[in-house]
Structure 1
Amino acid sequence: MKRLLTITFGILLSGLAVAQNVEQRELPFFDKIRVSGEIKVFIEKGDKEMATIKANEILVSDIILEVVGKTLEIKLKKDSKKQAKAEVFVKYRELRDVSVAAAAYVSMNDTLKVDKLVLNVITTSEFDSDIIANTIDVKVGQGSSVRLRGSVRNYEATVNTKGILSALELKADSAFVTVGTGAIAKIFAKEFIEANVRPAGNLTYSGEPKQKNIKTSVGSTVREE
């Protein structure tokens, strides 16, 4: 009986270890991040590059973190469980390019301060951030969502089919936006707005821009807030 209890207790401990485990990794320098798969990634500035991985229902070894060139790639192994839950907390020194794909979620835990940011969020993924920048180049892919706050001199955004850009709280001087079919863009600009709103696209803007050049299509909607 005692032997049976010992074995059972050992199995339970093993199950808990697999169910939730944590690992910290030091990383070489990177200034780009590429996230792919159903992973939640939280990013903040630090003194050195490192990552803390928290995994449920899978082992941390099933989560791939590797720096190729100057790009940190974060993804799940191909044979990982679909119901697996993984969170990665990343610290960086410099960051200028973020790519999010395949149902990933990325959030900045503090304000990202950068001269120029390239942001690419595709295939039903999400990105959320406070930003202070001179320029931003953002692409929102099909079914994806991007939420931006902060300030920028000017930015260019392409919002593809059924994508959502929520940037009314991103205070910009100028904004250049393409809103695809069925897509939604909410933007702020106080000097100039140039927009192309395609069929069934929806554009909301604020900031009382001094100049605007907005092209519309059949079934598109443009509204000033």
Structure 2
Amino acid sequence: MESKGVLPNQPKVEPLGVENTQKGGSMAKANRWAILALGACLALSGKINGEISSQRRLLFFFDKIEVNGEVDVFLKKGKRNRETTVYADSEIIDSVITKVSKRTLYVDANNTFQLARRLPFVKLNARRKFPVEIMVSIDKLTEIRVNGGSNLTSAELQSDGLSVFCSTSGKVHLENLLSPTLNLRQEGNGVVVLKGRGVNRLEAQVLDNGSLRAEGFDVGETTLLHQGKEAVHLAPLRWLDARMRGSGNLFLHRQPEKMVIDQAGKGIVRDVISGPLPFLDHNASAPKLGEGY
């Protein structure tokens, strides 16, 4: 007799509507994650920007400049002295600050934003930065201060005696400076680059994690207080007074006619050609010249 029951090993067939519903839900969920991932990538890469705009601004008299925030500043001679040109996203250009107070030009911009999105089991943190570039037409200054994460570049600046203070994590580049003296204090985490031959005397203090690159800076006399952790590169012509107090090294790309090296830290003084140089050992009972490491 033929059995009318269910055949053995027969695959179970789901209703067509149930299968389509499950597939549709999975595809919708995948699409949502794809859209969220795309949005996060766009936010991280900064692709969603407005148009770049520019503004020219005339300023009152100033002989000092202080840069804050995370902007790029360029100092150079121009047709109209003490004029700035600001280049920034049209959404934030009006908020870029270039104001003069007590003979000091203050530059700042609120151009960084934190983006946070919280999803189930996923946390996305993004930092969006609007680039801001500021051209400053100036031929003579007495003081430059660069803070935050800003960068500053100067070419053919003149001064009767320039003081530079750096606490930035960015880069400060001074080229072809014309000044009898340059007083530099580097206490940021960035780098200071000096080039040219228009300065007679350099007085430099290097602190913390910042570095100084002045191997292309032909200066007659140099006084250095090195209390930092990074390297300093110099090329003095006639005189060098180096007081080594930190763990950072000093590399000489030229040996001056006369020099005094006061060694009290772990950093060494090294000629890039001949090797370590003698130092004054203050740890001995009678201070005497010792050999380099």
TM-score by length of 1: 0.86
Structure showing greater radius of gyration is: 2
Is the CA contact 1:100–1:126 (under 8 Å) kept in the aligned structure 2? Answer: no
Partner of 2:170: 125
Aligned to 1:74: 107
Cα distance in 2 for partners of 1:40, 1:97 equals: 17
2:218 aligned counterpart, secondary structure? strand
State the 1:175 CA deviation. Answer: 0.3
Paired position in structure 1 for 2:134: 88
Task: Indicate if the aligned counterparts of 1:58 and 1:84 stay in contact, CA closer than 8 A.
Answer: no
Between the aligned residues of both structures, percent identity stands at 23
- Which among 59, 66, 74 is matched to residue 34 of structure 1? 66
Instruction: Answer 1 or 2: which has greater strand percent.
Output: 1
Correspondences of 1:65-214 after superposition (within 5 Å): 65-77=98-110, 81=113, 82-108=128-154, 110-130=155-175, 131-151=177-197, 152-214=199-261
Letter of the 1:65 counterpart: T
> What is the SS of the residue equivalent to 1:99?
strand
Displacement after TM superposition at 1:140 (Å): 0.8
**Is residue 64 from structure 1 mapped to residue 110 from structure 2 by the alignment?**
no
* Structure 2: unaligned runs, 5 residues or longer: 1-47, 114-127, 273-293
Q: Distance in 2 between matches of 1:22 and 1:42?
A: 15
Q: Secondary structure at the match of 1:190?
A: strand
Post-superposition shift, 1:184? 1.8
The alignment partner of 2:264 has SS state of: coil
Deviating above 4 A after TM superposition, structure 1's stretches of 4 or more consecutive aligned residues are none
**Structure having greater relative contact order (Cα 8 Å, sep ≥ 6):** 1
Cross-structure match for 1:9: none
Unmatched runs of 5 consecutive residues or more in structure 1: 1-15
Is the 2:252–2:271 contact (alpha carbons within 8 Å) kept by the matching residues of 1?
yes
TM-aligned CA distance change 1:215 to 1:45, over 3 Å: same
Q: 2:52 aligns with which of 5, 20, 32?
A: 20
Q: Give the alignment's TM-score, normalised by structure 2.
A: 0.67
